Structure 1
Amino acid sequence: MNYLNSLPISTIAIESCIEISETIQDAAWQQSQNFSTLSTRLQAYLNRLCLLTVLPWLEEIWGIIAKPAPNLAVLHSFWEVVNGTAITINQTRLILIPSLAIDINEIRVPQEWVDIPSWAGDYYLAVQVNTEDGLVKVWGYTTHLQLKQQTNYSAGDRTYALDYEDLIHDLDLLWVTRQLCPDIPTKTEVEPLPNLSLAQANNLLERLGNPGLIFPRIAIPFSLWGALLEHGGWRQRLYELRTGIPQQWSIIQWVQTGISDLAQQLGWNYLDLETSFGSRGIAQTNEPVILTRHLIIAGQNYELQVQSPGNITSGFWIIELQSLSLQGLIPSGFKFRLLTEDLQPFPDNECVADTATEKLAIELQLEAGEGLVWEIEPTPENYEREILRF
């Protein structure tokens, strides 16, 4: 089924294009409806089509495993505000930039993918999407280094543009380069973004969360915009405000009415679903509440636990990291910390494994509505900042 009208791909041999299955088109269309405007729904649709088609194709032609970054479940918060999708192949980061443009004469990369430090990629792939004929073509690529050194930056739409003749068009060269010259420079240094206070972030979220503001990404200075987006919890909240969906990260709501769908997709669950959660909700039982999130750190399985030993209204919580390996020990050198919503430390907010230990735990008393961000070193696979609101 075709949902958009576009002309056939030009200047590319049809046989070299990747076919989009009708199943993927249907699924991508259905999964791209919960966005604030027609434009953002289209953006989400194109990016999902691109991801679901290009990622398995790269895995097939290169014989590798590629993953959406940071996680497929949170990409909606990116697509609500910016075009593009990141994927990772081992330590290499690729940014897919889809376009419906008929003439493939340039790539236009949104500034977010270049100048937000944690978003910047090694390589940027120009992808032409033809929804009418059900075809996708990766027609060229460049590096972060080349984008910063050779492109024309447009302040009007905050994009970096690079002409067709300046891109490399043989994608196999990218793979060969990474295999033979893994240390070749692909990035240039990016200036750090400012730290936003909680008051600043809340003010920005109130303003930019209005879906009537059609282009939030150009409504404020880039330094503020980039700092807001780089914080995964604030970016998720921006998406919720613009689309009008309920708050997804309230621990109290998880306890009382069930864990949100998004949180479940990211691995949050109950320690014992059968005995801890019934149709009436945990809050109506006398059992201790233990929420868990599965993590993979350095190839091993771990579990983050959030528990309230007594009544959840007391504000007393224990948050801890445990190993799920056979030995059941967290290696020495691991660090587990909690930060305020705006990433500030507080007394006794961190614990370190000086030797191998059974768990790293932090006990704390929280005010109603207070938000916390958890961090672990080494960083878990597909880590994304979450604001756990109590």
Structure 2
Amino acid sequence: MNQSEFLKTISKERPVASVSNKEILDKIQTEAVQMGWDVISKPFDCTKWEKGRSFIDIGNHSYEIFPSPFSKSYKGNGDIIVIRSLEELESFNINEKVVFLKDNIAKEPMQPKIFPFYYPDEHKHIIDLLEEKKPKAVIAVTGKHAMCGLDPFPMFEDGNLSIPSAFINESTANNILRENGTVNLNIDSNNSNEKSRQIIATRKAKDKAAGKIIVCAHMDTKYGTPGAIDNAAGVVILLKIMDMLKTYECIYDIDIIPFNGEEYYEVKGQLEYLDYIKDDFDAIKLVINIDSPCHKDSKTAVSTYNVGEKLSATLCSEMEKNSNIVIGDQWYAGDHAVFAFRGTPCIAVTSSNLFESVLQITHTQRDTVDQISDDMINQTAEFLTGLVKSVAEY
């Protein structure tokens, strides 16, 4: 594998069910098979999203708006009502209105309504109220996302939400709200049923396995981003680890997983893998999740979850071999979280400047290969390979 060329090849918009997503799944599988790994493919049903020009016309002006990913489409007229708080949403009649959500009620994105791992009560209450009260559509007035570079951000990203939705920034909202009269609203957003799959590259222990080690990195992106750091760099590290472990005889089964769905509202790939290992979940000895690593101005940061003294000592010993591998803060917005919340020992791997710099470019067009350090990819892959081997030897 030519590392630089492969990174460039996969650093393009690749949401679940897209043509590029399918092409990259095939490339990863081909590389894995050529290295001698067994590859399991788990198909799943999913939704592909396409959008067109969306707008609000009012008075003599037309304003561009952004359809929420996976929104239902809408075309029609309606009167605006502004909702600024949960209390207003509870008490106001919004039936058949075009609802503008702004200020406190639009301060953060909502979790999808049937998200399997985390669905806060407040989010459920907001979504339940909206669906019960049946507005024509919802326009969220948002700003800078706290956990990525989007500004404005979609408040809703949910193919199961029954209400058409879009989002705009504060300035656009203020211009619209100064006008008087009925708005003409067009949300051009279309969903179609598709098939995709989750692949698992696996190597079985030579004899009866002492357990399972999982190394994972999501391979999909949001719509509208090349996803170089988030998370093409992580996929390249996965492949390098596979190459370095291809002849290693381990007492553990090893699963290498390019998760296909971390950026998708129903996390279908993750659910397929959890179903695949449901009878062996207790056999998992360690999960290593790689997400948004190797920014050009960073070191590699590792954080630990449910890690005992022995594993902690092994990790420290491996880190001492490379000063560019450092301890970082815990974070839970990644694929390790589902394992960590169940008590499984986990290590999350990311850029050391994740919160200061990397999150400002993720999910945007700025997430390109020029943000990545090839040298840190090599160093991180070597460190993680050494860690897997050290864990397997005690």
TM-score normalised over the length of structure 2: 0.26
**Does 1 or 2 have the higher relative contact order (CA < 8 Å, sep 6+)?**
2
TM-score normalised over the length of structure 1: 0.26
